[in-house]
Amino acid sequence: MSATSDPTALAAPTSQFGKARQRFTWRDALLVAASSLVCLFVLELVLRIFYPLYPSPFQADDVLLVKLIPGARKVYTRLAVNGGQRIVSQINSDGFRGEELRPLDGHPRLIVYGDSNVEGEFSPLEATFVKQLEAQLQRSVSGDVEAINAGVVGYGPDQASRRMPTDLARYKPGLVVLVLFADNDFGDLIRNRIYRLDEHGELALNHYRLPTTVREHYDAAAHPRGLHRLQVAKYAYRLWLALRPAPATASNPDDTDYIALSLKQNLSDYAASHADGDGVIESHDPLGDYYDAAIALEPDSEAARYETALMERVLVRMRDLASRAATNFVAVILPAGLDACDHYDFEVDARKYPQYDRRRLSGLVAGMAERHAIDAVDLWPAFRSGDGTCYYLHGGDNHWSEAGQALAARLTADLIIRRSLLHRRS
Contacts of 216 (CB under 8 A, 6+ apart): none
- How many residues are recorded in the chain? 426
**Each residue of 22-43: b (16+ CB within 10 Å) or e?**
eeeeeeeeeeeeeeeeeeeeee
- Residues forming beta bridges with residue 66, ordered by sequence position: 60
Residue 90, phi then psi, degrees to nearest 5: -115, 130
| Per-residue pLDDT, 15 | 52
Calpha distance 352→210 (Å, rounded): 36
pLDDT value at position 252? 54
Amino acid making up residue 56? S
Residue 346 β-bridge partners: none
CB neighbour list of residue 141: distance below 8 Å, 6 or more residues apart: 108, 417, 422
Mean pLDDT by 10 residues, the chain (426 residues): 44 50 69 82 74 88 96 95 96 98 90 98 98 94 88 97 98 97 97 95 94 92 81 74 62 67 94 74 84 97 98 98 97 97 91 96 98 98 90 95 98 96 79
CA distance 274 to 196: 9
Instruction: Find, among 398, 210, 420, the residue nearest to 330 by Cα.
Output: 420
Whole-model pTM? 0.87
pLDDT at 29: 81
Question: Cβ distance 113 to 156 under 8 Å?
Answer: no
